[in-house]
Structure 1
Amino acid sequence: MPKILILFAHPAFERSRIHARLLQAAATVKDVTIRDLYQLYPDFDVLPQVEQAVLEQHDIILFQHPFYWYSSPALIKQWLDLVLEHGWAYGKNGTRLQGKHMMNVLSMGGNEAAYTPQGHHGHSIKEFLLPFERTAGLCNMNYLPPFLVHGSNTLNDQQLGEYAARYVQLLEQLKTPQLGIPQP
């Protein structure tokens, strides 16, 4: 069974209703590991060898975070810069992530229409996530479409529950042979 790694980053997690709910739901799914990067690395002193060992044990890597200023919280950038080393993740002999899958799980205050060429932000989420997609490509990973929670500031409890249920459904689906991940 493929193993899923959720690399979670939220600098103000205590204020996040949606990510608290999503993580609670994800924790119920077998073969899912959750790593809270701000809890592990409050001083941004990421340990590359530790993170690389964790990556090697998983088949699917999810970056779960709020969509801050059209990107991720700073700790994810720090993590990427330090962990995905040349010769390990990419470049000559950098094949340790080859064939794995990567995707984003994002919350954002804006609604779906805001993230269109005609919308408030002038671009699609896909365009804003191009650095993640290219990172996956450079590391010979398959980049999967993101799981998006739009309008996160206005969701009621029922809507939060629906997103949490969809997240569990996605995590279960990611572990099926239809995704193309070889089953052990």
Structure 2
Amino acid sequence: MAHPKLEHSTVISGLTASINGLENVQITDLYERYPDFNIDVQHEQEMLFGADIVVWLHPLYWYTGPPLLQQWIDLVLEYNWAYGHKGTYLKGKYLFNAISTGGSPEAYSATGHHGYPLKEFLLPYKQTAKLCNMKYLPPFQIAGTHNITREQLNHEINKFKALILHLRDSPNLSDLENLPFLNDFKQ
């Protein structure tokens, strides 16, 4: 999870709180763990190695993730560890983004304010997964966060928790590409 001002976030903090303490679910708050951006690469690689599914939970800032998430990707996903001829440690694992956006779903469309669908802004993450021989799942998005009601937010948080529980408890990971409740977002 990466949010530089988590104390001001009702969305990301709500999503995080909903899954905090679940068995076999680990949350790393990158900004809490690495406030100086000095990432313990070996520790992070060990955590990735033990995971089946990786979720990058973050707000979308200027069409990308927060800077510490990018620093984490740059350092942790090393050549010949995550990708390259010897980089097989993430092969077959699943990855997806769980994001919040201030803009509405309509704003992230070809005719919307941002001029492109959300999936185009997330292409670097999808390509990162591909380079690392991971399977990229459609993102979970909570949109329009500047105007979301408490009731709407609670509904989305419950959907996210249900998604995480389903992913955790799924006996057959090959079924994950067709999950119906990843906000019906198709790549």
TM-score by length of 2: 0.90
State percent identity of aligned pairs: 45
Correspondences of 1:25-104 after superposition (within 5 Å): 25-104=18-97
1:119-171 Cα deviation digits (max 9, x unpaired)? 00000111000000000000000000000000112112111110110001111
Counterpart position of 1:113: 106
Give the conservation status (yes or no) of the 8 Å contact 1:29–1:171. Answer: no
Correspondences of 1:17-32 after superposition (within 5 Å): 17-32=10-25
Deviation (angstroms), 1:28 = 4.8
Counterpart position of 1:141: 134
1:156 maps onto 2:183 in alignment: no
TM-score by length of 1: 0.91
Q: Give the structure, 1 or 2, with the largest relative contact order (CA under 8 Å, sep 6 or more).
A: 1
Provide the C-alpha distance between the structure 2 equivalents of 1:29 and 1:111, rounded to a whole number of angstroms: 30
How many residues align? The count is 174
The one of 151, 160, 181 equivalent to 1:167 is: 160
Corresponding residue SS for 1:135 = helix
Deviation (angstroms), 1:178 = 4.5
Provide the C-alpha distance between the structure 2 equivalents of 1:19 and 1:134, rounded to a whole number of angstroms: 24
The one of 171, 175, 179 equivalent to 1:177 is: 171
Runs of 4+ in 1 over 2 A off after TM superposition: none
Corresponding residue SS for 1:105 = strand
> Which structure has the highest strand share of the two?
1
Deviation (angstroms), 1:179 = 3.4
Provide the C-alpha distance between the structure 2 equivalents of 1:41 and 1:63, rounded to a whole number of angstroms: 16
Counterpart position of 1:4: none
Deviation (angstroms), 1:29 = 3.1
Counterpart position of 2:178: none
Provide the C-alpha distance between the structure 2 equivalents of 1:120 and 1:90, rounded to a whole number of angstroms: 36
The structure-2 alpha-carbon separation of the partners of 1:130 and 1:51, relative to structure 1 and needing over 3 Å to count, comes to: same
Provide the C-alpha distance between the structure 1 equivalents of 2:35 and 2:46, rounded to a whole number of angstroms: 20
Deviation (angstroms), 1:30 = 2.4
Gaps of 5+ in 1: 1-7
Q: Aligned AA for 1:84?
A: L
Corresponding residue SS for 1:153 = coil
RMSD, aligned α-carbons: 1.1
